[in-house]
Each structure stands twice: as C-alpha cells, then as structure tokens.
Amino acid sequence: MTSGTLSLIVGGYTSAIVLADIDLASQAITLRNQNIPSPDASFVIISPDGNSIYATQEVAAGKVRQLSTTTGALIAEQNSTGQNPTHLALSPDGKKLAVANYNSGDVGIYSLNAQGQLAGIASQTFHPSAGNTHAHWVGWNKTNNILYQVDLGAGKVYGYKPNGTGGFEAPFTALTVPAADGPRHLAFHPTLPIAYVADELAAFLVTAAINADGTFTVMSTMSTLPAGSGAAKKVAHIQVSADGKHVYVSNRGHDSIAKFDLDAQGKPSAPNFTLTGGRTPRGFKLFDAAGLLVVANQDSGNLILFKVDPITGNLTNTGKSLTGLTMPVVVDGGIGAKFLAGSSSSSSSAGSSLVQQGKVNFSMKCSGCHNLANTGDAIFRAKTATIDQITTTIVNRMSARSIATGKGACTADCATSTATYLNAIFTGSLALTSALP
C-alpha cells in the first residue's frame, strides 16, 4: 500500500496513550495534537470494530480500562483481579477479554456484552502457579479456542479449555521449560498448529507443535542473539507475519529485532538482526498490509519505522522516527483508523510536537518537571532562558527527585519536550486556559 494513513496508539509508563500518524506515501511519522488519558498503559489493543481501546494500568492495584476511540472518554474500568497487569487479549468471538497480572501471577477473564463493553468484574480468575509466578502473556488459539497463559516465573505455558457453559475449565500445563529461561510472550502460526515462545531470560525462540489435546511438543530451541554476543539476555516481544513466513523477536539487551524465516512446516532458520535505532525495544508491531514495522524503544523514548521487504521479510530503517516520548512500550493501530478528532501535527512542526509530548510528561504529578515548574523557578518566570538551559536545569536539578519517586532519571529527550512546553507557557506563545496541571 502506497497511500493513506496508518494511525497509531502508543502506550507506556506515562499519563496518557499517545497518538501518531504515518503517511504511507512519504512514511513520515508525526505526533498527534491529542492524547487519550490512561496512566501506565503498558499494553493496549483495539477492538475489532475500532470503537474501543482496551488498556492495562500496570500498578499494584491493577486496572483494566475500556476507552472510546472517538472521544477518548472512559467507557468502563474494572480491577484487573491482581497486581501489575501487563497483557490483554480478546477472544476470537469478541465476547471475552483476558488479562495477565505479572506480579500476582493470576489471569482474569471478563465477559463483554453485545457492544463489546467491559460490563462487570472478572467472571473467572485463575492462579495456576505457586511460589515464583509471573503471568506475562495471554492469548487465544483460533483453531482450538483454548486460552493460553505464559508464566515467566514458573517456566510454564498453561491452557484453559472452554467448559461448554461460557466459562473455562481449570488450567492444564501445555509446556514446561526451565524456569530460569523465563518464557515471556507467545505467538501462533497463522495456518499451522505451531506455537512460538519467546524466552526472555535465556534469549531463546522455542518452536512447539500444538497437539490435539492442546499441549505443546518442542520442535526446536534457537538463540535470538548473534553467536558470541555478550549482550544481556532480555527478550521482549514476538510476532509472526500474516503469511506465516517470518517470525520477529525483540532483544532489549542487544537492542535489535531478530528475524527468523519459516519453512513450509513452520520451522525457523537461523536469524538475521536489525538494530532498532534506540534503547530497550520492548514492544513492536508488524503492520503486514502496510509493509511496515514500528518499534517502541522504551529507554530512548522513540518510535522507529522500518520497511518490511515483501519477499524476504527483512527490515530496513526508513530514517523516520518519533522522539521525545516517555517510556513507550506498546504499539497498535490500523490503516484508516480514526482516533479522536482533529489533525496530526505536520512534520515541519517539530516544536508543536514537542509541546504536546511535553504536556503529557508534565502531567505526571510526581515528575521532576512538574515540581520544578510549580515552584515558580526564576529561569522560567524571567522569560530569558533558552530551551537548552531549561533542559539542563531539569536534568541536573530533578534527576535525583525522579529517581526517589521511582520514575528513573530524567532523560534528555523527555526533558527537551517538557522544557519546550514550559517555555511556550512562560514566554506567552502558548496560552493557558486553566491552571497548570
């Protein structure tokens, strides 16, 4: 596809879901002038009808939210049934929503009404593992209709079969790997009974046949890192191409995407590697119809756009990126998707984009940037400081406070966008219609 717009939602450890657009003709990626308030949205998915976003809030008292894609308004909110939810999945028929709670290790399953609304508390909750348990992924296999859960702490994949009355049977163990391997995410082959498991702590791609009873039989185990690499083993996400010819895995320690070619039987070959153009690629999304892959680099705060070769599946950095984001970790979207009203900022309006992202950063109440501004620091009020000077002040003065509040040290990208926002306010080029957030 060479024309149209690919619209994105970007979740992360910040106060809102960020919106962006990719022009498919020029491949320019731009930040939208709006966002959707939803804090700590470490995983987001779009409903099949495009009307809703389901989002986690990854905190100790975890939440699952449903938000309107048209207005950004909160439609429904429920407890996640556990602590620190990190993953969501919709059932193939759109009638169930499952959530994986990382810290508490349990899985919650919600029933959705005819409009796809999260209408009540979880209808079932399962906690299959004792001891060191960390549920990190959930998802349905469309062929056998079994809900699977990946438990990083226990080193297991569990399965939940439908019980015939709208619920699910007690879990069974589909796969066991060494607990030290830390299985994190899973992806299914689109046409073959094969599952691909990404082991975070061992940096392995485990290929497994799915048996008639829903259990897995391991076919192969391969490294996701180059031979002899000394990079930390910190695998994150996995996705299989729609044609079933390639599987992609992100390496956070190596800051790369490993691409494995699949043969007609779904068996992977040795991978090639593409650097992600940033630090800590936790999430990515392969948009098959657009021939593009978008990587969210968490620690460098950027999105990088890659072109996907239609034959080989190889990735090429387009040179197009979105910077100044706060810990982006997940991407979703669609061609022609409509998120809120209004237009995206133009590629020539980098300052406007920074202002908008700075506004998101600034709204985090515990951030150093917010504290610095609300104390009425003289460098802002005097209207004489440059953005670089403000940025330096934020980094130098507030890093210690940010660390103390658990947000990590201020980064230059984050500080620059926040400084641009504050500078626009205090120089009068951006009018305030209400009190500072």
Nearest to 38 by CA among 68, 17, 20: 17
pLDDT confidence of residue 376 = 38
pLDDT (tens digit per residue) in 187-214? 999 999 999 999 999 999 999 999 999 9
Q: Which has the higher per-residue pLDDT, 367 or 111?
A: 111
Nearest to 291 by CA among 249, 238, 256, 246: 246
Helix, strand, or coil (residue 109):
strand
> Stretch 84-92: mean pLDDT, rounded?
97
Q: Are 29 and 20 in contact (CB under 8 A)?
A: yes
Taking the alpha carbons of 401, 406, 408, 413 in that order, is the dihedral positive or negative?
negative
Amino acid of residue 345: S
Amino acid of residue 147: L
pLDDT (tens digit per residue) in 397-422? 554 444 444 445 455 445 555 555 55
| Strand order, beta sheet including 63-68 | 44-46, 52-57, 63-68, 74-79
Round to whole Å and give the CA distance between 254 and 271.
14
pLDDT confidence of residue 394 = 54
Round to whole Å and give the CA distance between 162 and 101.
21
Round to whole Å and give the CA distance between 135 and 132.
10
Q: How many CA atoms lie within 13 A of 135 on its CB side?
A: 31
**Where is 168: in which H helix or E strand?**
none
pLDDT confidence of residue 395 = 53
pLDDT (tens digit per residue) in 52-87? 999 999 999 999 999 999 999 999 999 999 999 999
The two structure tokens encoding residue 37:
């308030």
Average pLDDT, rounded, for the chain? 85
pLDDT (tens digit per residue) in 205-247? 999 999 999 999 999 999 999 999 999 999 999 999 999 999 9
pTM, to two decimals: 0.80
> Stretch 25-51: mean pLDDT, rounded?
93
pLDDT (tens digit per residue) in 134-164? 999 999 999 999 999 999 999 999 999 999 9
pLDDT (tens digit per residue) in 282-317? 999 999 999 999 999 999 999 999 999 999 999 999
Q: For residue 408, count other CB atoms closer than 10 A to its CB.
A: 13
Q: Are 153 and 133 in contact (CB under 8 A)?
A: yes
Helix, strand, or coil (residue 76):
strand
Round to whole Å and give the CA distance between 41 and 17.
7
pLDDT confidence of residue 430 = 42
pLDDT band at 175, cuts 50/70/90?
very high
Please check the confidence at residue 128 and state whether its pLDDT lies above 80. Answer: yes
Round to whole Å and give the CA distance between 99 and 79.
10
Please check the confidence at residue 1 and state whether its pLDDT lies above 90. Answer: no
